[in-house]
Each structure stands twice: as structure tokens, then as C-alpha cells.
A = this chain, B = another copy of it.
């Protein structure tokens, strides 16, 4: 992105966490590649005082000729009425969709902050946290005796993205994901390590481009054999051979985010999300 890019200031504003506002706002803005967006998240705008401050800040920008873009999720009607006065371009999903959705559901929305489903209820909270702890306890082949409880076991060479993927699956979907590194220490890398053989149908492999792997490893151990291009190429060739020969489904993570890797694995393996 060059200095000549047009440039806009973006605010994500919410009386809750701001996560939904960020999510839908980023999705929309990602479709405009040639604009540079500076963004700021203002969560928990949940008092009239805070709302007036926000309006003041936005008005100042507008007066300086920098018309801000605002993506918001404001549930409280009083707060919303105040923010509505800001001289900005604003998209709010509650404003936009709620009246029509109320009509479809033939019910009035409760307009209460902090009600997001599938996150706060006791049972689901426990399921999520248990799944995160499962990912941690079963990270990097540390233990194998709980693999019977795993929904999935991710395999791959060191630093191909196993750990963040397992954690994300636990945190976001309550899925119990273990991971096991394929290393030279286990002998022939083209064979499924012994500890994994009873769980062949739970295995999912990750791979990555050698260049990307070398770059990631080099940040960890600069100029080492471990991060050398030659070593990365060799390990990846062997592990990919193993996936192919042993019919282990796999995914190349080079161009994917943790979110994409996780949701693609879930879709491909047909795993049921425990959090719904």
C-alpha cells in the first residue's frame, strides 16, 4: 500500500464488546483494497456521558474535513439516540435490521446489552473452557492417553500452525483438538507415528509452503538448521508423502488465517461444532 492511497478513519462503536461491529465492519471494508483505513474500536459506550464524548470526537474529525466511517452495534436506545446525532457515515446492524426482524418474528426485541448467545451460559462456558484446556494439555504430543476423548488430532511439522488452530477450535467451537508434531525424532516421517495409529480416523494434516515455514522458523531460531530452507523442504516433502500414502486428509495453510484453517477442517471432516 503506497502513500498515495486514499485514506479514511473508521470507528467501531458498541455498548458491548465491539467484536461484532469489528467483524462486520472489517468484512465490508476488506472489499475496498485501494483505501487505507485507520481504525479505532470504542467498546462499552454504555453511559450517556461516554456517548456524548464519542459524538464530540467524531464531530471534531468531521470539522477537520475527515468524515469518519462508523460501524456500530448499539442496543440501548438512549445511547443510540445520542450517537445518531454525530455527523458521520454510519452503519448499525440493529438500526438497519431490527424493525424488520421484529416484524418477521412477531416479537419485540428486548434491547438489552450483553445478551449474546452461545457464550455466557454456564454449560456452554464450561464446554469452551474445557476444550481450551484440552488443547493445552494435549499440545505438541505432550500426552497421548486422552486421544480417545479428542474430536480431532492435528498433525504436521513444527510451526506449521497446529497449536493456534487447536486452541481456536476449542475457544470458538468447543471442539476438543489435540495436536502431535511430526519430527525426525519419530524416525521415518513418511509413516504414521505409533502413538497415533489407533486414531487414524481422527487425524488431519497441515502443510505449508517451505518459504513461509522457513520465515516463521527463522523468527524463532535465526540462521539455524531448523529454519534452513533445505530442512523445511525436506520435512514438508516427507510429511506430504505420508498424508498421501496413508490417506490422511490435509490442508495447505500458507494463505489461510487461523479462522479459515479451523473452519475448513471442520467442514472437511464433518465435525460437529459443540457450541451452537
The answer to whether A33 has its CB under 8 Å from any CB of chain B is: yes
Chain B neighbourhood of A120, CB < 8 A = 255-257, 260
**In the complex, what residues of B have CB within 8 A of residue A32's CB?**
105, 107, 109-110
Report Cα–Cα, A112/B27, bound state, in Å: 11
Whether A105 pairs with B139 at a CB distance below 8 angstroms is no
Q: Could you give, for residues 18-59 of chain A, a 1 whenever the CB lies within 8 Å of some chain B CB and a 0 otherwise?
A: 111001101111111111010101011000000000000000
How many A residues are at the interface, by size bracket?
A: 35 or more
Contact of A30 among B115, B161, B215 (CB under 8 A): B115
Q: How far is A98 from B276 in the complex, measured between Cα atoms in Å?
A: 29
A29 touching B93, Cβ below 8 Å: no
* Set of chain B residues within 8 Å of A139, measured between Cβ atoms: 136
Residue A168 lies at the interface, judged by CB distance under 8 Å to chain B: yes
Query: A33 near B115 (CB under 8 angstroms)?
Result: yes
**A263 near B43: Cβ-Cβ < 8 Å:** yes
Query: Is A64 an interface residue when CB atoms closer than 8 A count as contact?
Result: no
Q: Closest B-chain residue to A94, C-beta based?
A: B28
Digitize A156-189: 1 where CB-to-B-CB distance is under 8 Å, 0 elsewhere: 0000010110011001100000000000000000
For residue A216, which residues in chain B have a CB less than 8 angstroms away from its CB?
Answer: 126, 129
Q: Which residues of B contact A94 (CB under 8 A)?
A: 27-28, 31
Return the 10 tightest CB-CB contacts between A and B, nearest first: A31-B109, A119-B257, A30-B115, A17-B263, A23-B23, A20-B27, A30-B117, A30-B116, A120-B257, A24-B24
